[in-house]
Amino acid sequence: RKGVRFVSDEWDTTHLASPLLLNLRARLLWDVNTDVDQYLDDFCRIVYGPAASPVRDLFLDLERAVAQAPSKHVSFNDLGKFTPEVLKQAHLHLDQAEQAAGAEEALLARLARLRISLKYTEVCKLSERVEKEPELYADVGRLKTEVDSLVRRYNIPLGLMAYDLLDTKYKPPVEALTGKKVLELPEQWLFLPDPGNVGEGERWFAKTDFSDWKPISVHSSWEGQGYPGMDGDAWYALRVKIPATEAAHVYLLFEAVDETYKLWINGEYIGESLGEPGVLWDKPQAAEITGRFRPNEENVVVVKVHDIGYAGGIWKPVWVTAADR
């Protein structure tokens, strides 16, 4: 009867919540007859001062987006309401608000919280698409950097889920991801566990005889292929003919390795994972192999994988890609 569509819950503490929503909910619980329009005016005037007008327009636009969303109950993680048009207009409102704020740091910090919500939403929406559109990794990285810059400048706390998604320690291999796919390596490799971590000392990376290694798929973890509960080190090997390419850079691209790896080709060390295992385990990783393989000839690719816990191993396809930059 009062026009309320639903009662909010603890998810109001996510990035999608606004200080207006939290304060207005508390006020309506105290007095359901509160004049909402007047409260909105008062709130923006008190909290945002000279920037009140564009911030009020921002809140009204977001409310309109929720009202026009296809779902009756717009949940905290329903990003459908944040269309490109809604986000663009919201950023314009904040641009106007920042101009009105001038050099007032406390007010700029409040506006930065609103900006972070918009940029974080964009990160969420792009992150849902990057697996099928890897060229978007560059945009995701740019947005994460922008959010991180605002967080540091204004010392703004973020929730745990936000930190998980905004982790800036991971730098996606954009060149490898956006390069031309030259070759998808076979799904079946050869595999040998290394429970004592003796493989490097015994130079398994330089082996040419893999008769005692067992076949394994690199499209799923080793736990599901006869090695349940196994953590630690294990080795993968593959003989493969890598075609020649005139591109300036050639990469070996792993769609996902759980968790970290070291790579050798024809017994020569190429490179390894750089970053935290807990961050890397489900993300693309790549090593540049330009000039490090024999074109149009058989090459021996050997990968040592280290897993701390849970599932482990190379568990998504591996590619040779090429790029001119």
pLDDT tens for each residue of 169-223? 677 888 898 899 999 999 999 999 999 999 999 999 999 999 999 999 999 999 9
More confident call, 129 vs 219: 219
Q: Is a pLDDT exceeding 50 seen at residue 250?
A: yes
pLDDT for the residue numbered 6: 55
pLDDT for the residue numbered 75: 56
Structure tokens at 140: 């995701």
Secondary structure E strands in 113-256: 180-184, 188-193, 214-217, 232-242, 249-254
* 167 Cβ contact list (under 8 Å, min separation 6): 144, 279
Amino acid at 259: E
Task: Please state the rounded mean pLDDT for residues 102-128.
Answer: 89
Q: Is a pLDDT exceeding 60 seen at residue 8?
A: no
Euclidean distance between CA atoms 141 and 172, whole angstroms: 8
pLDDT for the residue numbered 159: 65
pLDDT for the residue numbered 77: 57
Q: What is the CA radius of gyration of the chain?
A: 26
Q: What's the CA angle centered on 316, arms 296 and 293, to 5 degrees? A: 20
Euclidean distance between CA atoms 139 and 137, whole angstroms: 5
pLDDT for the residue numbered 127: 80
Residue 69 pLDDT level (bands cut at 50, 70, 90): confident
Least confident of 36-40, 74-78, 124-128, 272-276: 74-78
More confident call, 155 vs 91: 91
DSSP state of 92: H
pLDDT for the residue numbered 68: 80
pLDDT for the residue numbered 165: 65
The neighbouring-strand residues paired with 286 are 253
Task: Please state the rounded mean pLDDT for residues 103-131.
Answer: 88
Q: Within 10 Å of residue 166's Cβ, how many Cβ atoms?
A: 20
pLDDT for the residue numbered 318: 97
pLDDT for the residue numbered 12: 44
Task: Please state the rounded mean pLDDT for residues 35-40.
Answer: 93
More confident call, 34 vs 165: 34
Task: Please state the rounded mean pLDDT for residues 77-93.
Answer: 85
Q: Is a pLDDT exceeding 80 seen at residue 277?
A: yes
Pairing of strands 214-217, 188-193: antiparallel
Q: What percent of the chain lies above the pLDDT cut of 90?
A: 58
Nearest to 299 by CA among 240, 234, 211: 240
